[in-house]
Amino acid sequence: MMSQIETIVTEVKKAQTTARNQVERALAKAEQITEYHALLSLTAERALQRADDIDLAIARGESVGKLAGVPFVVKDNYLAFGAPTTAASKMLENFDAPLQATVVEKLEAEGAICIGKSNLDAFAHGGSTENSYFGVTHNAIDESRVAGGSSGGSAVVTALDVVPFALGTDTGGSIRQPASFNGVYGIKPTYGTASRYGVVAMASSTDTMGCFAKSAEDVALVMSIMAGRDERDMTTLPDFFDSTVSAQPGRRIGVIKEMLDDGVDRDVVSVTRQYIDRLVAAGHSVTEVSMSIIKYALAMYYVIVPAEISSNLARYDGVRYGHRAENAKTLAELYGRSRSEGFVTENKRRIMVGSYVLSSGFFDAYYLQAQKARTLLIQAYNELFDQYDFLLTPTAPTPAFAIGENANDPVKMYLADAMTVPPSLAGLPAVNVPAGMSSNGLPIGVQIIGPAQSDAVILSLAGQLDQVDGGTR
Ligand code: GLN
């Protein structure tokens, strides 16, 4: 059976449909779901022009790319033409990108067409898309609940079939957790898989560029195009992403038992156990393993990531670009007021924590200590991967929570990241796989984690399982 993306590309190339048709359909669908507040802008004019160019090339018998005529959405922290790049902040409310992100260029070179930009927590700081300066995004399955975050908008447009794929960024869970909350696939690739160039930086040592789609196969196809070395991002790896690899039978899978303990929602535990049964039925061997250091990962993350944020966000001073406060009398006042007005509370909280842990008096006690612990975490993963091919945990401790439920309690909000943060600190690939539903009908996902550069194999494993039993949806 052909995947959603393959079907579109095949039909566009055979002129059974047109790229214009696909774009018009996606734009119309986007207009029908405005109450979810998943999109911050549409890039309709540019998208339709690009669609016509592709249709013309096909009519002339010219070759078109692997994603010819496929509409997609980018999270609004990717620099892209056709609408401002806001990072869902007042700081960048009117920022028109002077260039496009490398991965957007790569997708466009294969004929994909960006139709709009999705909502996020401002500067990607958050796990619910409630921190957007422009308002909250609603969950695709239950509008009274959060979309997850920070890439909430991209998850929702994928779940509601506006587009067959959407881009997100994942620093500590921002693709996997909203994928889990909305019942779609989402990948945080191996650190360095796809270029970060032209994407608003959050925490440079864990920022990754990934995507959402309705099948593992489509995620793999899109990632194989995004992947590869970029001279403008020196952390990128040479292209290793082979979307045609398939997972061997009889894999050894370790389930991290600390991630199924008492604090985890009962439905999440039972859906994870059912997924384990499906893995066993498919002939894989599944063993419970312990990884005691994992309980400190959240503490490491919320020291290291704010430190990097405070440094990356220093560039927004109201001078070169971004919001500038009016009538400031001194330079210090200009900096202070521009930043105070341009950032949301959560941005400021992280800048303050980050500056604190990097300050000379506390650097050794917090930042250095967290980096040492991070090395131990990486070693613990390495030891497990000597014995297991993959590791499994739920993606999040609960299904989507209610809008407002955690909004005023940052620590409660951070706890929602407990399962997604550990692979981020270790740079490992991890995929959210829709695995089932809670008793009240909310999607629940499991997270499959693999050794570095096993991204395509993880996706294959998940895809095979969906084909065996037809998946859960
Ligand atoms: N929720 C996590 C945080 O707030 C992850 C964010 C992200 O991956 N961008 O840091």
| Ligand 1 centroid, distance to 11 Cα (angstroms) | 38
Task: Give tens-digit pLDDT for 350-392.
Answer: 999 999 999 999 999 999 999 999 999 999 999 999 999 999 9
332-to-318, 328, 335, 350, 428 alpha-carbon distances in Å: 11, 9, 5, 21, 41
pLDDT greater than 90 at residue 78: yes
- Dist. CA 118 → ligand 1 center (Å): 16
Q: In the chain, count of helices (H) and strands (E)? A: 15, 11
Residue 329: DSSP 8-state: S
**Mean pLDDT over residues 283-296, rounded?**
98
Q: Which of 123, 125, 411 to mutate to test the pocket of ligand 1 (most atoms within 8 A of CB)?
A: 125
Confidence of residue 473 (pLDDT cuts 50, 70, 90): very low
Q: Which residue, chain included where needed, has tokens 């809670």?
A: 438
Q: How far is 19 from 366, CA to CA, in rounded Å?
A: 53
Does position 429 have pLDDT exceeding 60, yes or no?
yes
What spacing in Å lies between the alpha carbon of 78 and ligand 1's midpoint?
Answer: 16
Catalytic residues: 75, 150, 174
Q: How many CA atoms lie within 13 A of 202 on its CB side?
A: 29
CA angle 131, 137, 141 (to 5 degrees): 135
Kindly report the protein residue whose alpha carbon is nearest to atom 5 of ligand 1. Answer: 172
Ligand 1 center to 349 CA (angstroms): 14
Average pLDDT over residues 447-452: 98
Q: Which atom of ligand 1 is nearest to the CA of 124?
A: 9
Is-contact 441 313, C-beta < 8 A? no
472 band by pLDDT with thresholds 50, 70 and 90: very low
Whether the upstream peptide bond of residue 150 has omega within 30° of 0, thus cis, is yes
The pLDDT confidence band at residue 1, using thresholds 50, 70 and 90, is: confident
- In the prediction, which pLDDT does 203 show? 98
pLDDT in tens, 84-117: 999 999 999 999 999 999 999 999 999 999 999 9
pLDDT number for residue 116: 98
Q: Which atom of ligand 1 is nearest to the CA of 169?
A: 9
Q: What does the pLDDT average to over 191-197?
A: 98
Ligand 1 neighbours, Cβ below 6 Å, are 124-127, 150, 169-174, 202, 305, 417
Q: What is the token pair recorded at 26? A: 């996606």
Average pLDDT over residues 216-236: 98
463 touches 216 (CB < 8 A): yes
Q: Report all structural domains of the chain as residue ranges with CATH numbers, in order of start.
A: 4-226 (3.90.1300.10), 252-294+365-469 (3.90.1300.10), 300-355 (no CATH)
* Ligand 1: residue whose CA is nearest its atom 4: 126
Beta bridge partners of 289: 256
- Measured in angstroms, how far is the CA atom of residue 413 from the centroid of ligand 1? 10
State how far the Cα of 346 lies from the Cα of 283, in Å rounded to an integer: 45
DSSP H/E element including 48: helix 44-59
Which of ligand 1's atoms lies nearest the C-alpha of 301? Answer: 10
Rounded Cα–Cα distance for residues 137 and 155 (Å): 10
Residue 180 CB partners (closer than 8 Å, separation 6+)? 148, 186, 394, 395, 396, 399, 432, 434, 443, 444, 445, 447
Q: Atom 1, ligand 1: which residue's CA is nearest?
A: 127
State whether residue 275 is helix, strand or coil: helix
Q: At residue 166, does pLDDT exceed 50? A: yes
| Residues facing residue 139 across a β-bridge | none
Residue 299 pLDDT level (bands cut at 50, 70, 90)? very high
Q: Which H or E run includes 14?
A: none
Q: Residue length, the chain?
A: 473
In angstroms, the Cα distances linking 3 to 6, 107, 218 are 5, 18, 7
DSSP one-letter string for 171-198 = SSSTTHHHHHHHT-EEEEPPTTSB--TT
Q: Strand, helix or coil at 385?
A: helix
E-strand ranges in 258-337 read 285-289
